[in-house]
Structure 1
Amino acid sequence: MPVLDWLLDSDPAIRWQVLRDLVHAPAEVVAAERARVVNEGWGARLLALQGEDGQWAGGACFPARSSNWRAENQGQPWTATLPTLQLLRDVGVDPRSDRVRRAVALVRDHCRWEHAGQPFFSGEVEPCINGRTVALGIYFDQHVDGVVARLIGEQLEDGGWNCEAENGSVRSSFATTINVLEGLLAHERATGGSAESIAARRRGEGYLLERNLVRRKSTGEVVNPAWLQFSFPTRWHYDVLRALEYFRSVGDVPDSRMDEAIDLLRSKQQPDGTWLLE
């Protein structure tokens, strides 16, 4: 089966994006397909899992404490409100639909962060979480200017961000930085940003580019071989594909310091035109 046919023979969450980005279908065709995400397939299933308390799995970043995932040492199950809203954004659920507006209003009014009970769209203390909160707030039309101001003030000397800064770290993290950059870019696209936020975003981009998106600045070594593998959903994690997608969305002429990452992406394409989930 040709790759395009294979992609179109899928969930509405995939089809509408294929119609927009690869088929270049008329806007009304894309919009009609996207509208199905709320009522069919993955998007509808995710929305249906929201609890009466407005949260998914009873928590903001983590499932409710009554869940046994911690005791069983099984790791984060990624079913709480933050990762679910990220998935809903990724699948392109229409934020203007009545169903989605009601769901987001419940989150705004009832969901609180585990850290200190802060309202969801007010953010908390970790920039990797707050960057995603900004991106979600912009997508779902919520006020997040205060979170953006906090992120600007938390940028480190080397240009990036790190959730461990509150514990004394002075070196940035690739993962934290990409989460913040995505949030700042979304905010800038929606509001125009400010001179300070634009400058912070550009400095953050420089942090990644100076390291060729994957290497230590000090030694030139690959920081983490896992970043050379492509996965979905990324949640808070970093990899080369996520960085390339960010810079694609910025829309600038590709910087030569991305060449290694682009070559890696091309090398992983399969003979049938697909890429593997690694």
Structure 2
Amino acid sequence: MEKPFYGRTGALDNAHQGVPVSTTRFLSGKSAKWFPSLLTVPQRILHSITEGDGIECSIIRFLQLGCVYEELRRRHTDPKRHGLLLREILKWYQTLHRESEKSECLNDNRDTDLFQPFVPTYNLRVMKDDQPVGLYTAVTRRAVTLIGKDRELNDIPLDHPSCSAQHAALEVRFVYAFAEDLEQQFTTWLEGQAIDWNSVEDIVKLCVRVREIMSNLGDGEDTWSMELQVLDLGSTNGTRLNGEALQALQPTTLIEGDVLTFAFSSRKYVVVRS
């Protein structure tokens, strides 16, 4: 069987007769602030999982790789070199798994060969003066929902003048259960380490250490979930979750009852179950 590819492509495709993504984005030639993380759930995979078909458990290896990259990317001081960083991590990964690449689940004693995480079907209810004025349905059935004033680019338009053209994004991501523990332990280990980000040897050392920590914490199928997250795209006047300002470009998980507000708009966007 052909080996599946779980790369970035597909996050914005209008697959499956336009459901749930109606049009392919970014065709206008405008520069976009949002880009998919390696942990963003591609649209085709999201559709397969939400339809109950699942996905081959070989994706767990890709998620482990994505977690390594995201952990290192956040600490790399030069965003222009993130592409080179990813290339070196991919080389390390290919060398590590060249002889051991398999398609079965990584979790021991599993009888199934499918990965089937669960994410609730959330809607986004728009409130103005405590009255509902709109509803965006099934936002967890889209890999990404873009929010802002630019109506050509965004799925949820914001008309208030204080909002940015590309203000925020909702996206469904794979989330590692021990992400906070991983960050804390890796940060502690990094203290006193002299890292040369231009050194392939140092990057490999970092990759190995992240994987060691993940292996000790646990990194099988049951340590991964899918969650709806919000991301402020560096907007001028900010995004607030339950009244608290979000840090730009830092994904934050949303749950039922959460309230989003954008810039100085009085409208509230409430996360509700379908």
- Shorter-chain TM-score category? under 0.3
How high is the TM-score relative to the length of structure 1?
0.25
How high is the TM-score relative to the length of structure 2?
0.25
Q: More strand per residue: 1 or 2?
A: 2
Q: More helix per residue: 1 or 2?
A: 1
